[in-house]
Amino acid sequence: MNEDQTLEARTRPVSAAGPVVAAHFLGATAAFVLGEEAVLLLSAHDERRVAVHAGGILAVAADGGGVVTGGDDGNVVITHADATSVVVARDPAGRWVDRVAIGPKGAIAWAAGKSAFVMTADGTPRALELPSSIGGLAFAPKGFRLAVAHYNGVSLWYPQATSAPQMLAWKGSHLKVAWSPDARFLITAMQEPALHGWRLADRTDLRMSGYKTKVRSLDWTASGDWLATGGADQLVLWPFQGKDGPMARSPRLLASAPASVLEVACHPKEDLIAVGYAHGLVLLVRIKDGAELIARRPDDQAVSALGWNADGTLLAFGTESGAAGIIDLR
């Protein structure tokens, strides 16, 4: 790739009028979720602003069909490409809903305080009380199972069973949680600059450390071979091929820059990663040879959101200051 080329000419600029906390695609429509109140929907010829919460938007999850948000108004809302939005749940005590997840067949999970809730697309919510505030939620790739991260570990919950959840213990505050695509490993980002993990077959602990700051963004590559992470001044890729995953192996370090990696988003088909930095740079990084393509030049507006469409032809980005855009890679 020619380093002098950038994708600027292929970028449709978007002014979000507020910090962008997430960027997703609903089919061909780009959805930019703002820090407060609204989701901005952009289709080929149309731009619509949908009011979804009466205050801050604290959590976002999406599958191709809808964007689920949790707010400080205690509501869980789903927004669709046609600009309709529905309150799917309210916290009974009006607490902040600050974690949400989408699972198989449109199942939605959310957390408020120490309570986790799950609702199937047509069922009643089930609730689980945890011993401490919930730091992260993630549905397993197969089956109907939820990982709930909290202080001192992760609870694995089968919401439709009556048995108590299984606990994977490790001291500290576990925040984001993510399953490997083959469900063999479970990874958490901690408050410390480190990741923790478990090989689920035998509950072996994994520790991935060396970060500069806590890891705010992590994503699996399409092949499942790599876990891309932010939290350093370069892209940190942990290898997950083979039965031992990253154990006793070093990460691959690519795409160094004079700023922290804040956001990572893996291409849905290729082993290619979009990387967003604190100084505004967005790079596309090819794992095979570390080649980099500048998708957005640095301009001191920290990248706060990245999202690919389903076939990897469009990349949406957002920043803390509201500058956003859609890059067309066709």
In the complex, what is the shortest distance from the CB of residue 74 to another protein, in angstroms, rounded to a whole number?
12
Among 7, 14, 16, 21, binds another protein (CB under 8 A): 21
Considering beta carbons, is residue 130 or 266 the nearer one to another protein? Answer: 130
Separation CA 126–CA 109 (nearest Å): 9
Separation CA 278–CA 268 (nearest Å): 24
Choose one: 2-10, 95-103, 217-225, 241-249; the region binding another protein (CB under 8 A): 95-103
Choose one: 51-59, 118-126, 200-208, 233-241; the region binding another protein (CB under 8 A): 51-59
SS3 219: strand
Q: In the block, which residue shows the tokens 């999406």?
A: 62
Separation CA 281–CA 299 (nearest Å): 7
Ranges within 192-251 binding another protein (CB under 8 A): 192-193, 213-214
Considering beta carbons, is residue 105 or 171 the nearer one to another protein? Answer: 171
Verify binding: residue 105, another protein, rule CB under 8 A: no
Choose one: 8-16, 50-58, 60-68, 137-145; the region binding another protein (CB under 8 A): 50-58
Is there a contact between 135 and 190 (Cβ–Cβ < 8 Å)?
A: no
Verify binding: residue 167, another protein, rule CB under 8 A: no
Q: In the block, which residue shows the tokens 């500048």?
A: 294
φ, ψ of residue 104 in degrees (nearest 5): -65, 145
Verify binding: residue 98, another protein, rule CB under 8 A: yes
Among 132, 160, 166, 256, binds another protein (CB under 8 A): 132
φ, ψ of residue 284 in degrees (nearest 5): -105, 125
Separation CA 294–CA 296 (nearest Å): 6
- Cα maximum dimension of the chain: 59
Verify binding: residue 107, another protein, rule CB under 8 A: no
Considering beta carbons, is residue 12 or 95 the nearer one to another protein? Answer: 95
Considering beta carbons, is residue 112 or 315 the nearer one to another protein? Answer: 112
In the complex, what is the shortest distance from the CB of residue 45 to another protein, in angstroms, rounded to a whole number?
30
For residues 220, 182, 268, 26, the Cα torsion angle rounded to the nearest 10 degrees is -100
* Closest listed residue to residue 27, CA positions, set 46, 3, 13: 46
Residues contacting another protein: total by CB under 8 A: 27
Verify binding: residue 63, another protein, rule CB under 8 A: no
Q: 153 - beta bridge partners?
A: 150, 169
Binding site residues, another protein, CB under 8 A = 19, 21, 35-36, 55-58, 72, 95-96, 98, 113-114, 132-133, 135, 151-152, 171-173, 191-193, 213-214
